[in-house]
Amino acid sequence: MADIATLGAAMDLQISQLEHISNNLANASTPGFKAVHLLMLKDLEEVAVTEEEPEIPSELVVDFSQGIPQKTSNILDVTIQGDGFFVIQTDQGLAYTKNGTFTVNSSNQIVAQDGSLVMGTSGPITLIDGQINIAQDGSISVDGNEIGKLKIVDFTNRQALVKASGSLYYDEGQAGLKAVEKPNIQSGFLELSNVNVVREMADM
């Protein structure tokens, strides 16, 4: 039987699990949000009990599966079908997200909801007056003239990404950044959160 110290360690792990479940539920309506799960790697009976405080092996796993695309009919709402992340310039450096809820700032630059610049293949993208179109490959044109292209990247090891607030991630150099040569972009759609509310409630 597991002793009191082991059970205490298990309770701490369960508290941490509940925190992640609560965060998942809080972001169930956040576009591009990916559910996070804390997995216990061993049963209590397998945990070695020593004179020191026992540790229960666990692993934090992000579910990067695709969320359902929702039609918005807003040209600047974009989603990536399949692999890839948008690149956002934040105060802390480049960040990566599946949340394509974009808008325009006072300088006519495409930005995320918090005002951070959305990066194109040649830097920030500045719009001009006219009819905007975003093509399947991420190219942005106004009145038929291309003015930029969304920068889409992916990673060989997504689990190495560092999760920030909402649907943002940072790469500390361990995730294996790579370009997406042929992204599949849909304008007028947003990728919803992939949180399964029923599963999260059951886990809670």
State CA 183 to chain mean position distance.
17
**Per the structure block, which two tokens stand in for 34?**
């990916």
Q: What share of the chain is helix, strand, coil (3-state, %, to 5)?
A: 20, 35, 45
Q: In whole angstroms, give the CA distance from residue 32 to residue 197.
A: 15
pLDDT at 41: 52
**Per the structure block, which two tokens stand in for 45?**
């009976």
Q: In whole angstroms, give the CA distance from residue 94 to residue 169.
A: 9
Do 36 and 163 touch, CB atoms closer than 8 A? yes
pLDDT at 15: 66
The DSSP 8-state label assigned to residue 127 in this structure reads: -
In order along its 204 residues, the chain shows pLDDT tens digits of 456 555 555 565 666 678 878 888 998 999 999 998 887 655 545 555 554 555 655 578 899 999 999 999 999 999 999 999 999 999 999 999 999 999 999 999 999 999 999 999 999 999 999 999 999 999 999 999 999 999 999 999 999 999 998 899 999 999 999 999 899 999 999 999 999 887 877 766
Sequence-separated (6 or more) residues with CB below 8 Å from residue 11: none
Q: In whole angstroms, give the CA distance from residue 110 to residue 87.
A: 12
pLDDT at 180: 95
Q: In whole angstroms, give the CA distance from residue 93 to residue 65.
A: 25
pLDDT at 44: 47
Burial class (CB in 10 A: 0-12, 13-18, 19+), 74: middle
The DSSP 8-state label assigned to residue 92 in this structure reads: T
Among candidates 113, 114, 27, 89, which has minimal Cα distance to 62?
Answer: 27
**Phi then psi dihedrals of residue 22, to 5 deg:** -60, -40
Q: In whole angstroms, give the CA distance from residue 37 to residue 177.
A: 23
